[in-house]
Amino acid sequence: MPKITPRSLSTNSHLPFGDMQNSPFYGLDIITVKQFDREQLTYIFEVAHEMYEMVLRVGSFDLLKGKILANLFYQPSTRTSSSYTSAMERLGGSVIPINNVSYSSVTKGESLPDTIRTLEAYADVIVLRHPEVGSSALAAKYAKKPIINAGDGIGEHPTQALLDLFTIQEELGRVDGLTITMMGDLKYGRTVHSLARLLSLYNVRLYYVSPENLCIPAEIQDEIAAKGIPQEYLTDLMSVLPETDVLYVTRVQQEYFEDPDQHEALKGSYMITTETMTRAKNEMILMHPMPRVWEIDMAVDDDPRAAYFRQMEYGQYIRMALLAMVLGKA
């Protein structure tokens, strides 16, 4: 039996024999969409597509057998957390689920770096959702194992943006040449921040529809302008709906409002109904990162253009691809 020595503990211990150490994604943290270029996105989508086909054919397989994921969520989650669990389990791995940090040592005052260093002693990869912007970057600074940002406050949600883009690619067959309209809370909605940045790698036109005080941050608009992407801000959807190929709707992010009255006043600002859909292209897709609250009437769900439930499923394949890639198996 080899002895455990201080040197063998935690030093590059996510590089076990047999992994593809030359893969560009091996051991990588996924913190922001800014780290990706188009070539990498094409590769991720190819792997995700293969994952989809494998799940169709065999349901689950043992690519990540013996690997462990720690799911660490300091904010609520349904889709992100469970899609990572299903992704890991479909690949034969297992999960340490910390979906409610109030039952962990966080309530005893443990710092994020210490919690991360604890979990990486047991797991091969950590998925982190946290209310503070920059928390995943901070975690990555302390961790030797890959950290995947599952939402850092109003900052970014990079893997949601990857699955959003994969949805567009799979549903419409392309991204270049499309007009994408983002509507709702573009100020606090982190999925929009990541998606707009990712889309700026393509030849697209962006429209932002929101109440004036929920505009997309100037910093993001500047980044996108610097890439030469046409973008326009509006308060009303109707003038741009007929030319829209992808309508991406988000909820008003109640948890970030300091003034509950302001949230109350804005929460029902926009609603997509079957009547709205009559003005949209036949090939348009309607997306939403979910949860929806007021923004899309349930009567719209039967419209084939309503892609938000399919979008969730694409998320599982993207997360299978990312886990396999950062663990050196794809």
State the binding string over 213-252 for ligand ASP (x if CB under 6 A, else -). Answer: -------------------------------------xx-
Closest separation between CB of residue 154 and ligand ASP, Å?
A: 9
User: Alpha-carbon distance 249 to 270, whole Å?
Assistant: 9
Place of tokens 């030797």: 144
Closest separation between CB of residue 184 and ligand ASP, Å?
A: 9
User: Alpha-carbon distance 283 to 43, whole Å?
Assistant: 26
Catalytic member of 157, 190, 193, 205:
157
Residue 97 phi, psi dihedral angles, 5° rounding = -95, 115
State the binding string over 100-139 for ligand ASP (x if CB under 6 A, else -). Answer: ----------------------------------------
The length of the chain in residues reads 330
Q: Give residue number: closest CB to ligand ASP.
A: 289
If one counts every other C-beta atom within 10 angstroms of the C-beta of residue 64, the result is: 24
Residue 226 phi, psi dihedral angles, 5° rounding = -65, -20
Nearer to ligand ASP, 15 or 293 (CB): 293
Task: Please check whether residue 301 is in contact with residue 24, taking contact to mean a CB–CB distance below 8 angstroms.
Answer: no
DSSP helix/strand/coil, 251: coil
Closest separation between CB of residue 152 and ligand ASP, Å?
A: 10
Nearer to ligand ASP, 99 or 203 (CB): 99
List residues bridging with 208 in a β-sheet. 182, 233
Does the footprint of ligand ASP cover residue 191 (CB under 6 A)? yes
Nearer to ligand ASP, 52 or 248 (CB): 248
Closest separation between CB of residue 307 and ligand ASP, Å?
A: 15
Does the footprint of ligand ASP cover residue 190 (CB under 6 A)? yes
Task: Please check whether residue 297 is in contact with residue 288, taking contact to mean a CB–CB distance below 8 angstroms.
Answer: no
User: Alpha-carbon distance 63 to 328, whole Å?
Assistant: 10
The residue within the footprint of ligand ASP, chosen from 93, 155, 158, 289 (CB under 6 A), is 289
Place of tokens 């889309």: 199
State the binding string over 290-319 for ligand ASP (x if CB under 6 A, else -). Answer: x-----------------------------
Count of residues interacting with ligand ASP (CB under 6 A): 8
The residue within the footprint of ligand ASP, chosen from 151, 155, 158, 315 (CB under 6 A), is 151
The Cα-based distances of 168 to 196, 216, 224, 246 in angstroms read 13, 21, 19, 8
- Residue 129 designated active-site: yes
Nearer to ligand ASP, 220 or 330 (CB): 220
- Residue 157 designated active-site: yes
Which residues lie below 8 Å from residue 137, measured CB to CB, with a gap of 6+? 31, 32, 152
User: Alpha-carbon distance 46 to 40, whole Å?
Assistant: 10
- Residue 235 designated active-site: no
Any idea which residues carry the catalytic annotation? Answer: 79-80, 108, 129, 157
Q: What does the binding site for ligand ASP look like in residue numbers (CB under 6 A)?
A: 151, 157, 190-191, 250-251, 289-290
